[in-house]
């Protein structure tokens, strides 16, 4: 399964080369042109039946993780976070340091027997360390260097109903994009499929892609927070697992154009594909980069509800994943309708 392979591979922000190599291998024979830019974005291009519009689909390759900050005298590794990670979930989690050699370790924290006065104190990254079994810096010399990336060490599991693994945000978007490239031949309009870098540290790859392509319409594929959890009141829900793919109306820094929302909802309804609207504004996506590019663009976001996002193991519904495939393909096929009936520039 493509999503399982993508989840198992490592690609902390700024170190996406293994993800990019795998995706390139999967799609190179199915597109008209493929290239990589200076920040590491992967661009796949399919020539359309009509070149009057430029369409772009994007998912980001990177995942949250860590970086080696210091090697202590006792051989323990101090680390810094890359992207948003809650320190309180890290103790006892397995990680892999991606230096000249791949070295596995465990994130350590003071054992409960020694926490007599610390129970009410928050867990911070400064109190955590990575134990690789070394006793001194000399033991890892030439294997681990300051600045080496660190990823969660999690094996993806696929069942009949759920998929569990690391980096579902946004390897699920990458998997949907690979499937879309396989299914659509040829597209109605000139189309770029972009696998972007460094979303988790400031949408950096998508900003480059936005100015490079300057599309008329950009569709972003993402994982988003599912909050149907016992610890949250119903009024605080954002999305729910098993309720279908998510159409995002607004998030931090962006309100999606109403004509785009109407088109996405109409497409889902006409194809009898279940969907849900994201209920809260929390989070942000690469869509911001395209809405704010030099000439602006229509933007849309299709996201997959994901429990335990930005953690060592995320959780999605297989049914949601399959319905997302159907919806993404339907949207791609209906794009002539968007530019005919929903394009405000055409109507003015």
What is the structure's pLDDT at 80? 96
Q: Domain containing 171: what range? A: 2-63+166-347
Alpha carbons 303 and 241: distance in angstroms, whole number: 12
The model's confidence at residue 283, banded by pLDDT at 50, 70 and 90, is confident
Alpha carbons 257 and 112: distance in angstroms, whole number: 51
Coil, strand or helix: which one is 37?
coil
Q: Which of 198, 17, 10, 13 is nearest to 103 (CA)?
A: 10
Mind listing the pLDDT tens digit for each residue in 237-249? Answer: 788 999 999 999 9
Both 186 and 260 in one domain: the answer is: yes
What is the structure's pLDDT at 112? 65
Active site residue ranges: 199
Both 195 and 319 in one domain: the answer is: yes
CB distance 190 to 54 below 8 Å: yes
Both 305 and 325 in one domain: the answer is: yes
Least confident among 64-68, 77-81, 124-128, 131-135: 124-128
Mind listing the pLDDT tens digit for each residue in 13-48? Answer: 999 999 999 999 999 999 999 999 999 999 999 999
Both 233 and 94 in one domain: the answer is: no
Looking at the predicted structure, is the pLDDT value of residue 113 above 70?
Answer: no
Both 141 and 215 in one domain: the answer is: no
Both 197 and 250 in one domain: the answer is: yes
What is the structure's pLDDT at 284? 86
Both 104 and 197 in one domain: the answer is: no
What is the structure's pLDDT at 116? 67
Mind listing the pLDDT tens digit for each residue in 48-92? Answer: 999 999 999 999 999 999 999 999 999 999 999 999 999 999 999
Both 8 and 89 in one domain: the answer is: no
Pairing of strands 157-158, 149-152: unpaired
> Mean per-residue pLDDT for 206-221?
96
> Mean per-residue pLDDT for 297-316?
96
Q: Which residues contact 187 (CB under 8 A, 6 or more apart)?
A: 46, 48, 49, 55, 332, 335
SS percent in the chain: helix, strand, coil, step 5: 30, 30, 40
pTM of the model: 0.94
The model's confidence at residue 345, banded by pLDDT at 50, 70 and 90, is confident
What is the structure's pLDDT at 253? 84
Q: Which residues contact 71 (CB under 8 A, 6 or more apart)?
A: 77, 78, 137, 140, 144, 146
If one counts the domains in the chain, the total is: 2
153-176 burial: b if 16+ Cβ within 10 Å, else e: bbebeeeeebbbbbbbbbbbbbbb
Both 334 and 187 in one domain: the answer is: yes
CB distance 228 to 234 below 8 Å: no
Least confident among 126-140, 151-165, 252-266, 275-289: 275-289
Among 152, 179, 198, give the residue marking a domain's end. Answer: 152
What is the structure's pLDDT at 119? 64
CATH number at 99 reads: 2.40.30.40
**H-run or E-run covering 269:** helix 258-270
In a domain, 239, yes or no: yes
What is the structure's pLDDT at 31? 97
CB distance 261 to 246 below 8 Å: no
């Amino acid at each position: 399964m493509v999503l399982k392979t993508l989840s198992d591979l490592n690609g902390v922000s700024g170190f996406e080369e293994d993800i990019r190599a795998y995706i390139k291998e999967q799609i190179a024979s199915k597109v008209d042109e493929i290239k990589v830019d200076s920040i590491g974005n992967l661009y796949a291009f399919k020539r359309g039946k009509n070149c009057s519009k430029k369409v772009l689909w994007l998912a980001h390759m990177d995942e949250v993780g860590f970086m080696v900050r210091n090697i202590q005298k006792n051989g323990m590794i101090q680390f810094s976070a890359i992207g948003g990670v809650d320190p309180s979930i890290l103790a006892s989690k397995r990680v892999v340091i991606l230096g000249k050699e791949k070295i596995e370790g465990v994130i350590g924290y003071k054992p409960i027997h020694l926490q007599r006065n610390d129970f009410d104190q928050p867990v911070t990254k400064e109190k955590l360390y990575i134990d690789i079994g070394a006793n001194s810096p000399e033991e890892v010399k030439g294997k681990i260097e300051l600045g080496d990336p660190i990823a969660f060490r999690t094996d993806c599991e696929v069942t009949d109903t759920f998929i569990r693994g690391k980096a579902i945000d946004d390897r699920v978007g990458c998997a949907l994009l690979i499937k879309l490239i396989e299914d659509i031949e040829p597209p109605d309009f000139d189309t770029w499929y972009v696998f972007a870098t460094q979303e988790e540290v400031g949408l950096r790859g998508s900003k480059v892609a936005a100015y490079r392509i300057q599309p008329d319409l950009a569709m972003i594929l993402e994982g988003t927070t599912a909050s149907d959890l016992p610890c949250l009141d119903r009024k605080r829900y954002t999305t729910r697992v098993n309720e279908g793919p998510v159409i995002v109306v607004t998030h931090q820094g962006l309100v999606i154009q109403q004509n785009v929302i109407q088109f996405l909802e109409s497409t889902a309804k006409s194809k009898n594909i279940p969907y849900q609207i994201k209920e809260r504004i929390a989070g942000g996506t690469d869509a911001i980069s395209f809405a704010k590019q030099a000439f602006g663009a229509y933007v849309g976001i299709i996201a997959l509800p994901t429990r335990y996002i930005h953690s060592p193991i995320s959780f999605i519904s297989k049914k949601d994943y399959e319905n997302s495939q159907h919806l993404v393909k339907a949207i791609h096929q209906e794009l002539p309708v968007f530019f005919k009936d929903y394009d405000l520039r055409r109507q003015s």
